[in-house]
Each structure stands twice: as C-alpha cells, then as structure tokens.
Structure 1
Amino acid sequence: MRVVSLVPSLTEAIAVTLPGALVGATDWCSRPADLDVVRIGGTKNPRVERIAALAPDLVVANEEENRPADLDALRAAGIEVLVTRVRNLPQAFPELARVLAACGAPGPPRWLDEAEAAWSAPPVPAPRRSAVVPIWRRPWMVLGRDTFAGDVLARLGVGHRYAHHPERYPRIPVEELRAAAPDLVVLPDEPYRFTADDGPEAFPGLPCALVSGRHLTWYGPSLAEAPRVLGEALRAALR
C-alpha cells in the first residue's frame, strides 16, 4: 500500500501504525520527527502532479484542511481519495479507525485504544470556565461554532465565547475579544505560532494559556496524552 497524506495528524497516525506505508506528505507534516517521505506542498496547495508521480494507492484528506478543487484534481488523475470529517472528539475515533483500515491496518492500534480510554470520562456537563481561543492574528481569528478544538476544551471544562457564532472561524477585532471578559485566553502554537512574546501582550490583565496545537487540534496519537497536557496548561494559567 502506497499512501499520501494531506493532513498532519493523519500523517502521524499512519506513520506510527504502518511504518513504510507513507510515500508522501505535506510540508506541514512534522510528526514523526524522523519522517522521510516526499514532500508534496502545503495542505491548501498540494502539488497534484508530484502526488500523481508517486503513484499512490490512496490519498487521505480532510474536508476542512484540504480544498475540494485539489481533491477533485486528484480524482480526475485516477487517484483514490479518502476524505475525513471530524468536528468533535467522538467522531475522531471511528474516522481514525476508518483511515487506518483503508491503509491496510489489520485492526485498531494500541495507541487508538489508549486515546479512547484517556477520553472515556463523560464531558463536563457545563463548562466551568470561559475562554477566547485565537488561532490567528493580523487579522485576529478565533474558534467559532462546531470545531474539534472547541469540543476538546469543553470536555476539559472550558467553554469558549464564540461557540455559537454563525462562522466556524470568525474574524473578531482584538478589542472585542478583550471586552468579552473571558476567564482566560487560550493561545495554541498552531496554525499561528503564539508564544510568550507574541500573543499574551494583546490581552493585558487576562490569564493566558499557551498550549500545544498538536494536542488541541490534532486527532491522532497525541489524543492519548492530550487530556493531561492540556489540563496542566489550563490549570497553570488559572492559578
């Protein structure tokens, strides 16, 4: 089986489960650290001709991360494309199992069982803390409705102010974000790389949690440790 992945989290999931199956991945696929495959461009601008030259049996993609036009071009080239849809945590586990089975895995890997077990506790009935969750600046964009990361945070007891916004990733002026008066600001290190010197200064007087974007937004092996890693970061910010 020859597989090309257009999604960083799926790249990691396939690589650790089926070593050798991946022949291509995007420039943003950073895990595993020693991944040695052909790079085929970005998630939003994959090089279709380079993918086709790899003669993959399957390309795995995501309805949010990848553009329909690129996926249609791959199909037109005679390449099978599997598209995932993950808007909340419960959807992640069967979608991961589906991808891995399509790539040739004989059954769910151990890490997937561990990830399900890590999230087996029921979600918090009503989030105890409120947050705004920027994912970009210049312009400022935040988590809105119906997002995987928003569901992850809710299950850790943190609701976000724009969970019911009409848009999934609305552009909100930073003045409005501050005026929303959240209990904390959650700043992931991707897709925008917020750091201690780039992000918190925009929210004076508000606790800021710098968190791993991989643990907040990726569905893959990182899910097994995400509750602990994220929980520690959120608690530290609220002390």
Structure 2
Amino acid sequence: MKVVSLVPSITEALFDLGLTENEVVGRTKFCIHPEEMVKNVPVIGGTKNINIDKIKALQPDIILANKEENVKEQVEALMDDFKVIVTNVENIEDNYYLLKNLGKIFNLEEKAQHFNLKIYEILNQTKINSAIKVAYLIWKNPYMTVGSDTFIHKILFEIGFENIFKDKTRYPQIIVEDLAEAEIIMLSSEPFPFKEKHIEELKEFYPEKKIMIVDGEAFSWYGTHIAKCGDYFKEMIAEIDFLNTNLH
C-alpha cells in the first residue's frame, strides 16, 4: 500500500509502526523524523503548500492529512482522485484513536497498542507535585500562546500544569503584560525557534520568573512521539519541582 503523509507527526508514526520507504512514498519538507528513513522519501511541498501534481505522479493508495496542519482547499482537491483520511487530534483520546486506526489500516494493531500503552504510562507517571501556572509561547512578534482546545494545552494539563490562557481558544495573540500571572513561562523550540536571547528579553520584564526553553515536539507532536519523551518530561519536572520547593 502506497501512502503519502502530509503531516510530520503522522509520518513519524507510520515509520514507528513499522512501515518502510517502500510504503511511505511522499512526505512534506517538515517530516523530519525518523531522519534515516525520511531522507529516502520524496518531498511533495510543505504542510500548507502541497504540490498536487507531484502527489498525483506518486499515485498513492492513501493520503493522510490533518484538519489543522493542512489547507482545506488543497486537501479537498486531492479527494477528487484519491482516498484521503483527514485526522483531527486535539487530546490524548483523539491520539489513541489515531494510532488505533493507523494500526487497523496497515494491519499493525499490536504495534499501535504498544505505543498507546506507553503514552498512557508516561503521562500517568509524569506529574508535577503541585499545580503550577504556566504560559506556553509558540510565536514572537506578536507573542502567541495556546488556548484550551489545543493538543499542547492537553499535554500541559496531563502533566499537571495550569495554562493561564485556558479561557482562550486556539492560538491567541498576547502582550508581555498578559504573562504576569504565570509562575513559569515556557518558550517552545517550534514553530518559532525561541533561543536564550529571548529568555533575556522577557527577564527584563519578569526578572523573578522562571523562563525556560522547552522541546516543542514533546508538547505538540501527536502520534507516537510522546512515547519517546518519558525521560525528557521526567527531567523537566524534576527541575521544576526542585525550583518549586526552593521558591515556596
């Protein structure tokens, strides 16, 4: 079965479940994991600007898309000629069914279940000691954060953080003053590549706050990715718990 994936985290999941570059025949330029496998798969554009002619030339049996990552009109144009499955992953339950369905489609149900159990195990074992108010920034100029109907918010919640923008939806624009309530400000490594200098900029406003760069993939990549983030989450939480004990 020939598959084109228009979603980076789904491309990673397909390879994790056991598909090879003989089956995954097309990907976006943002599909970067697993590196040694994806380098052999033809690129069909970006997530928001796919090359429909290139996809047609590959003649896939299935195209995997995502409601948030891909452009509706482009996906609909592909539906005329191909079987397109549009995913929508907003929480851990959605993610469970995404993997379950991928397992069903490719006869890899046992492997999918293994990843699902691993994800639940990581999220159940990884909790901070007491709820901490956080702001999670994904963009700069303007600053943008995450509302309650996002996958990132759900991961923060699962680990025990309280998103100070939980009354907002999607990815609202904010100003520095809006961050006053946060005990910790998280700067995501993607889509905007926050660096140390951006921590310094925010420290001018909030010298007393903990401001940290976090691995954006660990919070925003659904599919199988969280199953590999156990150590990362544990280390991050240990650092935060240590700080918290010393702060209070």
- Asked whether the two chains share a fold, i.e. TM above 0.5, the reply is yes
Letter in 2 for 1:183: E
Residue 48 to residue 199, structure 1, CA distance change in 2 (3 Å) = farther
Larger radius of gyration: 2
Q: 1:82-121 to 2 correspondence within 5 Å?
A: 82-102=85-105, 104-109=106-111, 110-120=114-124
Identity of aligned residues (%): 31
Query: Secondary structure, in 3 states, of the residue corresponding to 1:198?
Result: helix
Q: 1:170-185 to 2 correspondence within 5 Å?
A: 170-177=172-179, 180-185=180-185
Residue 16 to residue 122, structure 1, CA distance change in 2 (3 Å) = closer
Q: TM-score, normalised by structure 1?
A: 0.89
Residue 25 to residue 100, structure 1, CA distance change in 2 (3 Å) = farther
C-alpha separation between the residues in 1 aligned to 2:94 and 2:200?
32
Q: TM-score, normalised by structure 2?
A: 0.86
Letter in 1 for 2:140: R
Shift in Å, 1:121:
5.5
**Which residue of structure 2 aligns with residue 220 of structure 1?**
223
**Which residue of structure 1 aligns with residue 27 of structure 2?**
25
What's the C-alpha RMSD, in Å, of the aligned pairs? 2.2
Query: Secondary structure, in 3 states, of the residue corresponding to 2:35?
Result: coil
Query: Secondary structure, in 3 states, of the residue corresponding to 2:154?
Result: helix
C-alpha separation between the residues in 2 aligned to 1:45 and 1:121?
39
Shift in Å, 1:202:
2.0
C-alpha separation between the residues in 2 aligned to 1:23 and 1:95?
20
Shift in Å, 1:127:
6.7
C-alpha separation between the residues in 2 aligned to 1:188 and 1:87?
18
Determine if contact 2:126/2:233 at 8 Å carries over to the other structure: no
Residue 105 to residue 43, structure 1, CA distance change in 2 (3 Å) = same
**Which residue of structure 2 aligns with residue 230 of structure 1?**
233
Larger proportion of helix: 2
Residue 27 to residue 199, structure 1, CA distance change in 2 (3 Å) = farther
Q: Which runs of 5+ in 1 are unaligned?
A: none
C-alpha separation between the residues in 2 aligned to 1:235 and 1:106?
35
**Which residue of structure 2 aligns with residue 73 of structure 1?**
77
1:149-193 CA distances to partner (integer Å, 9 max, x unpaired)?
A: 11111111111111111x31001122323xx33110111211111
Letter in 1 for 2:227: A
**Which residue of structure 2 aligns with residue 187 of structure 1?**
187
Determine if contact 1:4/1:58 at 8 Å carries over to the other structure: yes
**Which residue of structure 1 aligns with residue 7 of structure 2?**
7
**Which residue of structure 1 aligns with residue 47 of structure 2?**
43
Residue 200 to residue 27, structure 1, CA distance change in 2 (3 Å) = farther
C-alpha separation between the residues in 1 aligned to 2:163 and 2:120?
24
Shift in Å, 1:228:
3.6
Residue 59 to residue 41, structure 1, CA distance change in 2 (3 Å) = same
C-alpha separation between the residues in 2 aligned to 1:93 and 1:71?
23
